[in-house]
Amino acid sequence: MIYLDHAATTAAYPEVVREMTPYLDRHYFNPSGSYREGRLLHKKLYEIREKLATQIHASPEEIIFTSGGTEADNWVLLNAARTYSGKGRHIITSSIEHHAILHTCGFLEKQGFEVTYLPVNRNGIIDCDVLADAIRPDTILISIMYANNEIGTLQPVHKIGQIAQKNSIPFHTDAVQAYGHLPIQVDADFIDFLSVSAHKFGGPKGVGFLYANKELALTPLLYGGAQEAGRRAGTENVAGIIGMGIASDISATHRKEHTKSQQTLRDHLMNRILTEIPMTRLNGSRHDRLPGNINVSFAGIDGATLIAMLEARDIYVSGGSACSSSDPSPSHVLKAIGLSDEMALSAVRITIGHENTPEEIEETFRQIKDCVHELRSLA
């Protein structure tokens, strides 16, 4: 098997599995327990909170453990609606956000809130001047993703943060695709809220964290116990949090070498596809994109059929977001950057991980070229 869908999920590092295992059997205690074992686990979780905070230049009390990116995204938007509705009911986001943002915005619109969906250019990047012009006296939140999950586009996060700070508006970024792969500094980029999911960078599924600026109000999403300083009730996923901490450490330690490896393989495969297979189009920016992301449309080809053919040859790629895999309609991201329905439906997303090899990339190119030729011959 050649796995090239790392934007959907990654394999847990062996060290992550090894470190998690004792907390599923021998050290199974509740970290809220008053006995010694519980106190030790509580201390362990705080140490991980400190490490995660250090990675993004935050304070430990600003790190809140969650079930992943979707929960964190929902939480920030719903918190803005609850906390700042006295000031206004206007939210700004982009047209290419993850559905965890877009669907929550849709829910809030039904509750009487107004949402501005910023357009993007052909590379999937917002115009910061358009963002500034969209701000109103009643704007209560700006939520723009750090990196897009389909086309890998990186947004001008620093400029967005500056605009938000200048206008005293909280700035949230969905960093699910970016964290663990790019250096992130919430203080330097004026980020107030940031969403992270562990399984995107070698950690386990079902765990993540929300960074929340301690200077801003955050109402609980879940009510119950006093966990997470009363902000997120429910017994902590101890094994998952420990695995996330280990994955974060490994990703930070090896980020530069992983980035270089992924970029080298990405550029090699991307260039061969675009130069040796006719009628192909790269979706997203050639340079301002995640190191392992390739999204290409093959004119005259049904992307789903191509993906199925590659799967039959033990090569795993995707058509876009795993969260939308059951939706047959064209990707909202590809439509937003100007693709026709036909070209959007011909797209394939290839996302490279640090464990992929040059030999795998060569084999993938050969198989893609062969499948495209076969499909076009049939057509």
DSSP one-letter code for 234: S
Nearest-5° angle of CA 231, CA 232, CA 238? 130
Report d(CA 208, CA 176) in Å as an integer: 9
Distance linking the first and last C-alpha atoms of the chain:
28
- Positions marked active-site: 323
Distance of CA 31 to the CA centre of its chain: 29
Cα–Cα distances (Å) from 305 to 298, 372, 378, in that order, read 12, 10, 12
Beta strands in 264-325 (DSSP E): 280-282, 293-298, 315-316
Report helix, strand and coil shares of the chain as percent, to nearest 5: 45, 15, 40
Nearest of 159, 175, 237 to residue 204 by alpha carbon? 237
